[in-house]
Amino acid sequence: QSALTQPASVSGSPGQSITISCTGTSSDVGGYDYVSWYQQHPGKAPKLMIYDVSNRPSGVSNRFSGSKSGNTASLTISGLQAEDEADYYCSSYTTSVVFGGGTRLTVL
Amino acid sequence: QVQLVESRGGVVQPGRSLRLSCAASGFTFSRYGMHWVRQAPGKGLEWVAVISYDGNKKYYADSVKGRLTISRDNSKNTLFLQMNSLRAEDTAVYYCAKDQMATIDYWGQGTLVTVSS
């Protein structure tokens, strides 16, 4: 149950696109299409943004997209907005759940 | 709409016990698995445990096996987390969360548990 690997921080200017990576192993990210992404603003509960690698829940902006290649999943946010500034976590779900260490997104 | 409301946490001494509860509404509780996830102050998310819709299957993180127990009462739409032999490293905000086919789709607001003498 080792944590998935994410960059500690990424940044971008309003209107730009950024990508956050999430690296696991063939036993988690690479072996199943059960990767999710969560957004968490300070002091708030996490919010589901992407599930099953690339699906968006109802109500989530289409500026958020997900993909996977091998043992690495990615979250891309296009047209960055100030309100996107938050922590982002990936997860992989088998019989248990493992999270990434989190990535702090700063909108410059 | 889905609502998950955790009971108040609090301060507990090392080695003591505490039981958290989570009241669910807005969905058919008995049809869904449920999770507990925690977050230590200033740290990332850590998955704690999951229980199947009927309570028959339970899985735990290695860090809590043998000390924390997840359970549910479908007649009362309530999820529980019994925490025994608490340690300083169990200090965290504990979130109750709803399972949806290999993802966690809804989270409670969280409750802070502080283990300290």
- Dihedral angle at the C-alpha atoms of A55, A21, B94, B79, nearest 10 degrees? 30
Tens of pLDDT, residue by residue over A53-108, are: 999 999 999 999 999 999 999 999 999 999 999 999 999 998 899 999 999 999 99
Query: How many other CB atoms are there within 10 angstroms of residue B95's CB atom?
Result: 23
Spatial CB neighbours of A32, under 8 Å, sequence gap ≥ 6: A92, A93, A94, B102
Each residue of A11-58: pLDDT tens digit?
999 999 999 999 999 999 999 999 999 999 999 999 999 999 999 999
pLDDT at A94: 86
Do B104 and A99 lie within an 8 Å CB cutoff? no
In angstroms, the separation between the Cα of residue A16 and the nearest Cα of chain B is 26
Mutate to test the interface with B, among A96, A98, A99, A104 (most CBs of B within 10 A): A96
* Interval B56-100: pLDDT, tens: 999 999 999 999 999 999 999 999 999 999 999 999 999 999 999
C-beta atoms of B105 and A51 within 8 A: yes
